A and B are shown apart, each in its own frame.
Chain A
Amino acid sequence: MSGTGTTANPRPATAARGADVSDIAVGIDVGGTNTDAVALAAGGAVLARTKAVTTPDVIGGIRAALSRVLADLGRDRSAVSRVMLGTTHATNAIARRRDLGRVAVIRLGAPAATAFPPLLGWPADLRETILAGVLLAGGGHLVDGHPIAPLDRDAVRRFLDALHRAGDKTGARGGNAAGGNGSAGDGSGAGGVRSGADAVAVSGIFSPSFPDQEFEVEALVREHLGDLPVSLSHQIGTIGLLDRENATVLNAALHGVARDVTSALATVIAEAGIGATAYFAQNDGTLMAVEQAARFPVLTIGSGPANSIRGAAHLSGAEHAVVVDVGGTTSDFGALAGGGPRESTMPREVGGVGTNFRMPDVLSLGLGGGTVVDPGTGLLTGDSVGYRIAERALLFGGGTPTLTDAAAARGAAIAGRRLPDLDPPLREGLSRALAVAYDRIESAVERMSLGRTGLPLVVVGGAGFLVPDRVSGASEVIRPGHGDVANAVGAAIALAGGRADEICLFTERTAGVERASRTAIEKAIQAGADPARVEVVDVSEIPISYSVHATVRISVKAAGPLAP
């Protein structure tokens, strides 16, 4: 919530002096309130930075932020070779149910999983907005690779033809649904079609281990429906059919949004007159090339927290640390493991839909600079004055006691202001509230440290003054310079990455790790990583309970710097 104004910050002279300006990266992060941008020298020094207001069309804020950092760079602007964007376009489209395409959902695996139809548990309005039709077709595999059923090509063909006919009748994007009660397909092929489709989502049971049938269906779509975008689940999510399918359907629905934002970014860069290559930040803190971002827009969701964790790492120099980004309404805790964000093992919801795609492990507390304090009890109310802090908080002459006031009462220097004289009971209440906040911050730090003691706590974000200088469980509290634009810094320094998962017998895990590593490296290279410098950065093995033979789930992540 820091810096809600639109002033461009002056170029930080100390960082720029002596910095290598032959190759400059610009990172842009679109948040709910601000669009931040930074220009980084090849050595990582901050050359220019700005905060612009996020505009409703999003791209306006991006244009403003980019033009300001380029203006600050002056003649060095010609050295900008890369622009990395972390954007909320996809998140907003889902949250507002706007600009979403209609998706034909094909699942391979019938009769298995038919008691759990696609889009199970989705909010009804989102389902109505997106669903063009459902086909539950024969296909899919058992965990050991044995086919559940042969791929039912005829059913897929009939379904695609019915979509084609419905498309002629109803039109696609923006067209009206052809009625129907939303019931799942009957497996006959044509029965599940409600309208024409803008995209197709294909999910096969155990496709992350056995993807061939999904590719085959993609080819059938090409044959029947031309260049309609197709999203394949094995390229998007991991084991867990419903969550992976949900992410795949959202991805398919976002193709139009992705097309718009990728072309808009290209336009903005061209307008700026720089010959930079564009990249998109994804939810695990790595980058995608533009072609990848156009195909996998759902992976841009959640890039904000990942960027802020990586930015905090860069600015502080920490490799292993707990990071907190304290804003006006929430404090988001993350963990740095080997310089990158640690990933969550829990399913995540996007717009009310469960998904299992990779996201940083983030613990969000409803605690920020604008959090309202109950003056009588000293408890935190759960409400925030948000961006109106500069008029509502006591420190700014308002009448609402907030955590910012509590920190100011304790002596924190905030915006060069001092609190008015307070009644002793109110002062006491603020003091109690700050103690509650400290306690919650300490317990969050402990949770995120997962047993490692002596990790530093890196504090970024505009309300970092809420974090005390000593936190039990943390070796030290680090407040790096430029911490309020850590998210844009994170976008500018991100690597290109890829990941692969597989379930295999414990006795065959060496071969399993090798297979998954090869796939992860291939995916990182597709995302833009330099083939000469890409490497496996994380391997995890999770034992599977109640399995008949000892079985493990292997997850491999590869990453590398962008190819020159």
Chain B
Amino acid sequence: MVDHDPVREVTRADVAALAAGCAVFGTGGGGPVHIERLATEAALDEHGPVRLISVAGLTDDDAAIVLSGVGSPSVGVEMLGAKGQPATVVREVERLIGRPVTAVMPAEIGGSNGVSAVRWAAELGLTVLDADGMGRAFPEATMIAMNVAGLVSEFCVLADMIGNVAVLRTVDLAWLERQARAMIVASGSVTLGAHYVMTSRNAPGAVIEGTVGRALRVGRALLAADDPVAALCTALGAGLLITGKVVDVERTATDGFTRGAMTVDGVGTDRGRRLRVELQNENLVALDEGEVVASVPDLIAVVDTETGTAISTEMLRFGQRVSVLAWPCDPLWRTPRGLELAGPAAFGYHLPYVPLAGTGR
């Protein structure tokens, strides 16, 4: 049962489903959604529902800032956001662009940032643009749809928990990644950032549309289902790579990134099969007998077989009963530029990209 009605607003009652959906689109990363869910529910209690607008619904007067919490989620559970942070970013962006900001777009729908966007919009009294820059979660600033589409980010505003504001003008997003990292360390390893400003002119074709509503619908299907994994597959248009149990998890920390792999042995009709998933902060490549069956930028989610709840790479444990799902990414990621930025090679895997069948929308 797939719910295709367009979502026009996000209410308090929707937040649980949105969080569940964002966790699935986090594909193992993106930061934990639980605390963000509580804060977003509290924000909607205080400010009321948040309106969602589509890219097609943007008027010439609209300007959407692309917001994301950046840094380490492990530090982020201690160094939580400050109340005035989104407003500080908006004020600075408005000063830079000389016009009012009217909407918030999540930089990434996957993980905590997809949920936070609703809270930020509620606190700011703005609408949410039903789109994001990834359609999932990715670890680096360069891995964003607007960069694939060739849009230039004129500036980046960073507003930390303390009240410090920085405006960075870097030659490209790779330099932004490096410069912003230094600033983020100085701010305590987590901060709030905004870079692109999306308008009715530059957004079409440069963002991944409908992803907030999609995460909400996927979450609703998951929470309402008797058979959550089947419901997820239907809602996502995903294939089930394996149902089994985790028999091995390897993890090492290198350069501040967690790298490793997880192995699932099939149970039931999958008995006798074995799937290996290469992990960094997200699930990146799935191999069956050494053959790539799915890889970035396509999406791979590991979910609890019984509940369908997404399991982040940090929470994978031996013996968990899991189902591994994969579904196609947005076509933008399958362009040469998209694959250069976020294909297997961008993560250090010398493997061919084998696109999953389907359109990803």
* A in complex with B: yes
A 386-415 binary contact with B (CB < 8 Å = 1; else 0) = 000000000000000000000000000000
Q: How far is the CA of A240 from the CA of B119 in the complex (A)?
A: 20
Q: How far is the CB of B158 from chain A (nearest CB, A)?
A: 13
Is B81 touching A143 in the complex (CB atoms < 8 A)? no
Chain A CB within 10 Å, residue with most, of B38, B41, B163, B256: B256
**Main SS of chain A's interface residues?**
loop
**Whole-angstrom CA separation of A142 from B245 in the bound complex:** 39
Closest Cβ–Cβ distance, residue A355 to chain B (whole Å)? 13
Distance from A435 Cβ to chain B, minimum over Cβ atoms (Å): 14
Please give me the residue from chain A that is nearest to B305 by CB atom: A443
A145-159: contact bitstring with B at CB < 8 Å (1 yes, 0 no)?
A: 010110000000000
Give A544 to B190 CA distance when docked, in angstroms: 13
> Is B11's beta carbon under 8 Å from chain A?
no
- Chain A residues closer than 8 Å to B313, beta-carbon distance: 545
Task: Tell yes or no: B255 within 8 A of A by CB.
Answer: yes
- Complexed CA–CA distance, A242 and B252 (Å): 28
Cβ contacts B74-96/A at 8 Å (1 or 0 each): 11011111111100000000000
State A149–B29 Cα separation when bound (angstroms): 31
Does B254 sit within 8 A of A, measured CB to CB? yes
Contact B317 A121 (CB under 8 A): no
Most B-side CB within 10 Å, residue of A146, A446, A448: A446
B81 cross-chain contacts in A, Cβ below 8 A: 112-116
Contact, CB under 8 Å: B189 / A547: yes
- Binding-face segment, A285-293, A422-430, A548-556: A548-556
| Cβ contacts under 8 Å, A536 to chain B | none
Of chain A, the residue at the smallest CB distance from B251 is A543
Query: Would A143 and B319 be within 8 Å (CB), given that A115-B85, A545-B314 are in contact?
Result: no
A544-B72, A548-B181 in contact; A206/B78 too (CB < 8 A)? yes
Name the residue among B42, B72, B73 with the largest chain A CB count within 10 angstroms. B72
Find out whether the CB atom of B162 lies under 8 angstroms from the CB atom of A547. Answer: no
Judge if A450 is at the interface, Cβ distance under 8 Å: yes
Q: How far is the CA of A42 from the CA of B139 in the complex (A)?
A: 57
Is B73 a contact partner of A112 (Cβ separation < 8 A)?
A: no
Chain B 239-250 interface mask (CB, 8 Å, partner A; 1/0) = 000000101110
Q: Which of B35, B42, B281 contacts A545 (CB 8 A)?
A: B281
- The docked-state distance in angstroms from the alpha carbon of A537 to that of B199 is 58
- Asked if residues A546 and B80 are in contact (CB atoms below 8 Å), the reply is no
Interface pair B72/A550, CB less than 8 Å apart: no
Closest to A122 in B: B38
Contact: A144 with B39, CB < 8 Å?
no
Interface residues of B in 225-259 (CB under 8 A from A): 245, 247-249, 251-258
Residues of A within 8 A of B320 (CB): 447
Q: A115: which B residues are within 8 A, CB to CB? A: 39, 80-83, 85, 119, 123
Question: B75 to A544, Cβ gap below 8 A?
Answer: yes
A354 partner residues in chain B, CB cutoff 8 A: 34
Q: Hey, which chain A residues are within 8 Å of B187, CB to CB?
A: 142
Is B188's CB under 8 angstroms from A551's CB?
no
Q: How far is the CA of A451 from the CA of B73 in the complex (A)?
A: 27
Query: Assuming the A-B contacts A241-B77, A548-B184, A548-B185, are A121 and B38 also in contact, with contact meaning beta carbons closer than 8 angstroms in the complex?
Result: yes
> Chain A: residues with CB nearer than 8 A to chain B?
110-117, 120-121, 142-144, 146, 148-149, 205-206, 239-243, 346-347, 354, 443, 446-451, 503, 506, 543-553
Tell whether A451 pairs with B248 under 8 Å between CB atoms, given A547-B74, A548-B185, A549-B185: yes
Interface flag for B347 (CB, 8 Å): no
Contacts of A113 in B (CB 8 A): 79-82, 161
Question: In the complex the two chains form, what is the Cα distance from A443 to B306 in whole Å?
Answer: 12
Partner of A120, one of B38, B139, B161, B184: B38
Tell me if B71 counts as interface (CB < 8 A to partner A): yes
A110 to B85, CA, bound (A): 12
- A selection of 28 A-B contacts at a CB cut-off of 8 Å is A110-B82, A111-B161, A112-B79, A112-B188, A113-B81, A113-B82, A113-B161, A114-B81, A115-B39, A115-B119, A142-B189, A149-B162, A241-B78, A243-B77, A346-B315, A449-B319, A451-B247, A503-B74, A543-B252, A543-B253, A545-B73, A545-B281, A545-B313, A547-B189, A548-B181, A548-B256, A550-B256, A551-B256
In the bound assembly, the distance between CA atoms of A552 and B80 in angstroms comes to 19
Contact B83 A546 (CB under 8 A): no
Chain B residues whose C-beta falls within 8 Å of the C-beta of A503 in the assembled complex = 74-75
Report how far A549 CA is from B188 CA in the complex, Å. 12
Quick one: given A446-B319, A543-B252, A546-B257, are A112 and B161 in contact (CB under 8 Å)?
yes
**B-chain residues with CB within 8 Å of residue A347 when the two chains form the complex:** 34
Identify the closest chain A residue to B71 (Cβ). A546
State the CA gap A546–B81 with chains docked (Å).
17
The answer to whether A205 and B253 touch (CB under 8 A), given A144-B188, A543-B258, is no
**A552 lies within 8 A of B39 (CB):** no
Cα-based distance from A111 to B318 in the complex (angstroms) = 40
Asked if A206 contacts B253 (CB within 8 A), the reply is: no
Specify which chain B residues have a CB less than 8 angstroms from the CB of A553 in the assembled complex. Answer: 74
Cβ distance A144 to chain B, nearest Cβ, rounded Å: 7
CA of A45 to CA of B284 in the docked complex: distance in angstroms?
A: 54
CB-based nearest B residue for A346: B315
Q: Given known contacts A111-B163, A120-B38, is B82 in contact with A448 (CB within 8 Å)?
A: no
B321 interface residue per 8 A CB criterion: yes
Complex CA gap A121/B19 in Å reads: 15
Whole-angstrom distance between the Cβ of B137 and the nearest chain A Cβ:
10
Give min CB distance, B94 to chain A, whole Å. Answer: 20
State whether A117 touches B42 (Cβ < 8 A): yes
Report A-chain residues with C-beta under 8 Å of the C-beta of B281.
545-546
A115 to chain B, nearest CB (A): 4
Known interface pairs A205-B78, A242-B80, A543-B252; A450-B319 also in contact (CB < 8 Å) = yes
Q: How many angstroms from the CA of A243 to the CA of B77 in the assembled complex?
A: 9
Contact status B73-A546, CB under 8 Å: yes
- Contact residues of B between 199 and 230, Cβ < 8 Å to A: none
B138-174 to A contact mask, C-beta < 8 Å, 1/0: 0100000000000000000000011100000000000
A552: chain B residues at CB < 8 Å are 253
Chain A minimum-CB-distance residue to B85 = A115
Complex interface: chain B residues within 8 A of A506 (CB): 253
Residues of A within 8 A of B251 (CB): 543
- Residue of B72, B249, B317, B318 near A551 (CB, 8 A) is B72
Query: When the two chains form the complex, which single residue of A242, A447, A448 contacts B35, counting CB atoms closer than 8 Å?
Result: A242
B48: shortest Cβ distance to chain A, in Å? Answer: 16
Contacts of B257 in A (CB 8 A): 545-546
A contact residues around B35 at 8 Å (CB): 116, 120, 242
Contact of B29 among A112, A121, A239, A545 (CB under 8 A): A545
Q: Are A111 and B84 in contact (CB under 8 A)?
A: yes
- Nearest CB of A to B115, in Å: 13
Chain B residues, CB < 8 A from A543: 251-253, 258
CB A510 to nearest CB in B, in angstroms, measures 16
Q: When the two chains form their complex, are residues B78 and A546 in contact, meaning their CB atoms are under 8 A apart?
A: no
| Partner pick for A148 among B38, B123, B161, B248, CB 8 A cutoff | B161
CA of A242 to CA of B32, assembled, Å: 14
Q: Contacts A110-B82, A144-B188, A242-B35 known; list 9 others, CB within 8 Å.
A: A116-B38, A143-B75, A241-B78, A443-B245, A449-B319, A545-B73, A548-B72, A548-B256, A549-B256
